[in-house]
Amino acid sequence: MNFPILSAIIFIPLIGALFIFITRGSQKNVEKNSKYVAIFSSLTNFLLSVFLWFSFDMTTSNFQFVEKKIWMEGFINFQLGIDGISILFILLTTFIAPICIFSGIQSIKFKLKEFLIAILVMETLMLGVFCSLDLVIFYLFFEGGLIPMFLIIGIWGGPKRVYSAFKFFLFTLLGSVLMLIAIISIYWITGTTDVIKLLDSKIIQEYQYLLWLAFFSSFAVKLPMWPVHTWLPDAHVEAPTAGSVILAAILLKMAGYGFIRFSLGLFPVASDYFAPLIFTLSIVAIIYTSLVALMQDDMKKLIAYSSVAHMGFVTIGIFSLTKQGLEGSIIQMISHGLISAALFLCVGVVYDRYHSRMISSYGGLVNIMPKYALVFMIFTLAALGLPGTSGFVGEFLVLVGIFQINVLVAILASLGVILAAAYMLWLYRRVIFGKLASAEIKEMKDLNTTEIYVFASLAFLILFFGVYPEPLFETVNISVNNLITNYQDNLNFHLALKNN
Amino acid sequence: MQTIIYILPELFLSLAIMSLLMVGVFVKKGSKIVNLFSILSLILLIALILNQSDTTIKIFNGSYIIDNLSIFMKVLTLIFCFFVLLASRDYVKNTNIDKMEYPIIILTSTLGMFLMISSYDLIIFYLGLELQSLSLYILAAFNREDAKSNEAGLKYFVLSALASGLLLYGSSLIYGFTGSTNFEVIAANLKEAQVGAVFGIVFIIVGLAFKVSLVPFHMWTPDVYEGAPTSVTSFFALIPKIAAITVFIRFMYVPFVNLIDQWQIIILFLSIASMILGAVAAIGQTNIKRLMAYSTIGHMGYALAGLAVGTNQGIQSTIIYLTIYLAMNLGAFSCIFMMKRENVFYENINDLSGLSKNHPMLAFSFLIILFSLAGIPPLAGFFAKFYIFMSVIEAEMYALAIIGLITTVISAFYYLRIIKIIYFDKSKKPFDTSYDWGLKSSLILSSILVLIYFIYPSILTNAVSAIIIY
């Protein structure tokens, strides 16, 4: 197939953004047209990516739909391609983006046009991260996301938005510049930044440790891992709902994807060596941030901390290097993408109506917003990993995976499941049940039609993948197998080299 | 007589300067004509220079060189001179510096820069340097009624004269130890490190570092940038850097090439110190011109890092950095020229507050340029840094790379601060929108270039790949 479908998927949102950028006319017309363009381009993109999924060949672990263009003559090509792992993230991104746009249209009160441009540009950059098969291109997309996100938090955010935007930007930038050094070093060590070639080449062992650490510094900040997670609660709390959704659902997953693709693929020896470090940090993250989440009185902050804890499961799964662990962490990322998006949207719903994120401002919502209480319950249960929701599948597999490697880590990690149940259920009880916190809440209206559709689609996917996760497994299966085989080969190769 | 043809551009420029001076003196209200014709002559000059053959030619006993480097740099000088004149036209008209001498002095300094760029001999180099510097002193003090401008001119003159003196002393030392002023002869006679010659090199580097405003010889930069009229500041920030960096390249890689072990550490120090100071000192600034001064210092530090590497790729990355730097700063200064309410120009950063509300397009261009100055991908500024770090890491100077990238993060802070003021703060009274097409077009051009550079970054690499010095 010659049609450059990946480029199309990446750049359709950008073209949409360009259209919005050049629309002129009266304020009302511009806003109306921007809305249509944004919805249209993001939905087209979603359909295109579904089509991509159907035409994706699940029987091979090779990269598919590979596109290659000369970019920096002589040393870097613009190379795109996907395998079973990246396609799921593409689907997640193209699915979440329209949801963000719907949410933005509902709740953004000023500069809607610019907001839609920022979201669409963001979508392009995130898709680029998951499609790129060249380290420099990857870095370009990975870092480029800082600009729109900075603006989204800073312009449309809450009262402390400036502080949060700066913290987000500088933290992530500091993490990433080390990755840039590592990427350039890789170029000088191996002579290429082409990921396909690099995955086959074996980087000399003594370089691997430092390079791994440089990549780790970037991904750990972005994921985020304890102790560099502190930007996340701030950014989440201050960002507008749509910004929080993008942040939680996709931005964090870029780091997880990076761990799988680059840390495991390029530096197997170092990954093996540093796995205990990852386990330790993840365990601390799971237990510590869950405890912190228990004590929050701000709904968004609570969910933000729970995100850190959930991402702890992801890293444990990735570095357990078992088939179950890896597949579990991929599914955990996808399901967390859906669940956290849904939870932030839930907070957004009440925030739009009552302008408070404090748990204590609410209570007894079940009496006035029964539909809302129902969807919030579904997502709460999914977040704590109730069987039958996608949250359960991921966490369960991760625990199965890590149990084979290290029982202690498995036991400690499973504490996180209990704590998750504690803080999520407690949150639900305080917000939905009990007495009405104040008379003013009575004025709040239940979900409107757009919100019902958005929540229904999210709930459908969460329940569907909870009951029948087979499509996900089928997609990632061969790629994960191949990843593990390569990893073991590579490890054995270096072991043999050492023994000689 | 054959050789005359090779210096046709320089001859044409001198003739243009002299005849424009005549026109300016004898024609009443000649400043309009002078201005128009000086801009036209810049365009003509570009054509003349591009017409030169791309083989290396040395004339006048090997004291004057025309090669790929000099052609590239001269074209760069002319293009940006042209745009600076266009962009600053509006400012010049609205302040009382719209005199007929103004464009002529700029042309004179351009002539001096041409001599510097093409010099292959200490004496020619010094002549060019002085011609350029003397014009710049006058420019800095051009706003005669303004005390600050006078102070800037005087300060620049005193310190720059000192630097010139050091340079001259260094040159005489080099001459004494090698017996020649010709670069190639010096290189042939300067095979090993003699104390006297090393002293000479240090003096010359100090003199050059002053002209490029590298730490610790940067003290004049913020004051002069702030005091001089903004149109002159924009000229200072862009054009003299081209000639100075060219001369830096030429000196390090032609006469002193064999003593690379001796000067490399000095260049490294200058580079690192400039990067750090440029990043840290700009944080507290409230005047945007002062801030740009520190930002310039930092950027020159990065440019020099490529020079410290000691490879052709390093030199090329420096040239690429310089080119992108020029494009970005042209845009930044165009934005500063637009900070005008009722014909009064504002310089405080807080005057930009809420720009995005009143002038969304201007704010957006400024946003692009500031993110690019901070080096965030996928904007052009990132590629500039990328090439520099490519060559730095190739030479395995990891410490330099790490310091450089960490200072990038620090300097990102103050660029972000401006963006915060533009986008996140409450709006003030709107600026005037009555700027002329020259200012508008240079802003649009530079921001578009910065924005779409990532589509095909090979353009610049191909252009500079022919420049081989070392």
Nearest CA in chain A to B426: A155
Is B104 in contact with B34 (CB distance < 8 Å)? yes
pLDDT of residue B131 exceeding 80, the answer is: yes
Task: Return the amino acid letter for A444.
Answer: M
Is B374 in contact with B408 (CB distance < 8 Å)? yes
The predicted model scores a pTM of 0.93
Residue B51 β-bridge partners:
none
Residues from B contacting A (CB-CB < 8 Å) are 356, 360, 371, 376-378, 382, 386, 389-390, 393-394, 398, 401-402, 405-406, 408-409, 412-413, 416, 419-420, 423-424, 454, 456-458, 461-462
CB atoms near residue B268 (< 10 Å) = 18
CB contact under 8 A, A140 and B390: no
Q: Which pLDDT does position B330 carry in this prediction?
A: 94
CB contact under 8 A, A180 and B389: yes
CB atoms near residue A276 (< 10 Å) = 12
Put simply, whether A78 touches B (Cβ < 8 Å) is no
Q: How far apart are CA B245 and CA B266, in angstroms?
A: 16
Average pLDDT, chain A: 88
Task: Return the amino acid letter for A424.
Answer: M
CB contact under 8 A, B458 and A140: no
- Pairing status of strand A76-82 against strand A64-72: antiparallel
Task: List the single residue in A73, A174, A178 with the smallest CB-CB distance to B461.
Answer: A73
Task: List the single residue in A70, A71, A177 with the smallest CB-CB distance to B409.
Answer: A177
E strands present in B74-217: none
Q: How far apart are CA B128 and CA B124, in angstroms?
A: 6
Phi, psi of B313, rounded to the nearest 5 degrees: -65, -35
Q: How far apart are CA A366 and CA A433, in angstroms?
A: 6
**Stronger pLDDT, A72 or B20, i.e. the higher one:** B20
Question: Looking at CA atoms only, how far is residue A143 from chain B in angstroms?
Answer: 6
Q: Which pLDDT does position A373 carry in this prediction?
A: 87
> Which residues of chain A have a CB within 8 Å of the CB of B406?
174, 177
Nearest CA in chain B to A174: B409
> Which residues of chain A have a CB within 8 Å of the CB of B390?
184, 187
Is A239 in contact with A331 (CB distance < 8 Å)? no
Q: Which pLDDT does position B450 carry in this prediction?
A: 92
Which A residues, 128 through 147, put their C-beta within 8 Å of a C-beta on chain B? Answer: 136, 139-141, 143-144, 146-147
Q: What digits encode the pLDDT tens for the residues B342-360?
A: 888 888 888 888 888 888 8
Nearest 10 degrees: CA dihedral of B312, B314, B320, B326?
-120
Put simply, whether A63 touches B (Cβ < 8 Å) is no
CB atoms near residue B56 (< 10 Å) = 12
Query: Structural domain boundaries of chain B?
Result: 2-465
Task: List the single residue in A71, A150, A184 with the smallest CB-CB distance to B389.
Answer: A184
Measure CA of the first residue to CA of the last residue in chain B; give whole Å. 31
Please count the residues of chain B. 470
CB contact under 8 A, A169 and B416: yes
Q: Which pLDDT does position B99 carry in this prediction?
A: 84
pLDDT of residue B138 exceeding 70, the answer is: yes
ipTM for the complex? 0.91
> Which residues of chain A have a CB within 8 Å of the CB of B376?
143-144, 146-147, 173
Nearest CA in chain A to B374: A173
**Stronger pLDDT, B72 or B432, i.e. the higher one:** B72
Nearest CA in chain B to A114: B360
Phi, psi of A194, rounded to the nearest 5 degrees: -75, 120
Q: Which pLDDT does position A225 carry in this prediction?
A: 87
Distances (CA, A) of A170 to A121, A228, B27, B386, B417: 20, 12, 58, 19, 12
Q: Which pLDDT does position B443 carry in this prediction?
A: 92
pLDDT of residue B18 exceeding 90, the answer is: yes
CA A378 to chain centre: 20
At A56, list the tokens.
């994706």
Nearest CA in chain B to A139: B377
CB contact under 8 A, A140 and B393: no
Q: Which pLDDT does position A1 carry in this prediction?
A: 53
Question: Looking at CA atoms only, how far is residue A149 from chain B in angstroms?
Answer: 13
pLDDT of residue B1 exceeding 70, the answer is: no
Question: Looking at CA atoms only, how far is residue B370 from chain A in angstroms?
Answer: 11
Categorize the per-residue pLDDT at B32 as very low, low, confident or very high, splitting at 50, 70 and 90. Answer: confident
Is A297 in contact with A415 (CB distance < 8 Å)? no
Q: How far apart are CA B354 and CA B423, in angstroms?
A: 6
Q: How far apart are CA B134 and CA B106, in angstroms?
A: 11
Q: Which pLDDT does position A158 carry in this prediction?
A: 80
Task: Report which secondary-structure segment, H or E, holds A314.
Answer: helix A299-320
Nearest 10 degrees: CA dihedral of A211, A217, A218, A222?
150
CB contact under 8 A, A70 and B458: yes
CB contact under 8 A, A173 and B376: yes
Put simply, whether A204 touches B (Cβ < 8 Å) is no
Closest-CA residue to A88 (of A53, A122, A60, A62): A53
Q: Which pLDDT does position B132 carry in this prediction?
A: 93
At A217, list the tokens.
């510094």
Exposure string of A6-26, with b = 16+ CB inside 10 Å and e = fewer, is bbebbbbbbebbebbbeeeee
At A466, list the tokens.
């909870």
Longest dimension (CA), chain A: 78
**Stronger pLDDT, B434 or A474, i.e. the higher one:** A474
Is B119 in contact with B464 (CB distance < 8 Å)? no
**Low-confidence spans in chain A with pLDDT less than 70:** 1-2
Question: Looking at CA atoms only, how far is residue A251 from chain B in angstroms?
Answer: 17
DSSP-derived letter for residue A362 is: -
Number of Cβ pairs closer than 8 Å across A and B?
Answer: 82
Q: What digits encode the pLDDT tens for the residues B214-248?
A: 988 988 999 999 999 999 999 999 999 999 999 99
Closest-CA residue to A101 (of A51, A41, A58, A60): A41
CB contact under 8 A, A144 and B398: no
Task: List the single residue in A114, A151, A173 with the smallest CB-CB distance to B412.
Answer: A173
Q: What percent of chain A has pLDDT over 70?
A: 100
CB contact under 8 A, B386 and A165: no
Residue corresponding to tokens 């303004």: B146
Alpha helical stretches, state H, B95-146: 101-118, 122-140
Q: Which pLDDT does position B73 carry in this prediction?
A: 93
At A352, list the tokens.
């739009």
Q: How far apart are CA B131 and CA B153, in angstroms?
A: 16
Is B422 in contact with B355 (CB distance < 8 Å)? yes
Nearest 10 degrees: CA dihedral of B52, B53, B54, B58?
-90
Q: How far apart are CA A141 and CA A134, in angstroms?
A: 11
Nearest CA in chain A to B425: A155
Nearest 10 degrees: CA dihedral of B264, B268, B271, B274?
-130
| Burial of A405 from C-beta contacts in 10 A (0-12 / 13-18 / 19+) | middle
Nearest CA in chain B to A74: B458
Closest-CA residue to B461 (of B397, B383, B369): B383
Q: What digits encode the pLDDT tens for the residues B437-447?
A: 888 999 999 99
Average pLDDT, chain B: 89
Long-range pairs, B340-346, Cβ under 8 A, ≥24: B340/B94, B340/B431, B340/B432, B340/B435, B341/B429, B341/B430, B341/B431, B341/B432, B342/B432, B343/B94, B343/B432, B345/B91, B345/B94, B345/B95, B345/B230
Residue corresponding to tokens 């748990």: A359
Is A24 in contact with A30 (CB distance < 8 Å)? yes
Residue corresponding to tokens 């420096």: B318
> Which residues of chain A have a CB within 8 Å of the CB of B393?
181, 184-185, 188
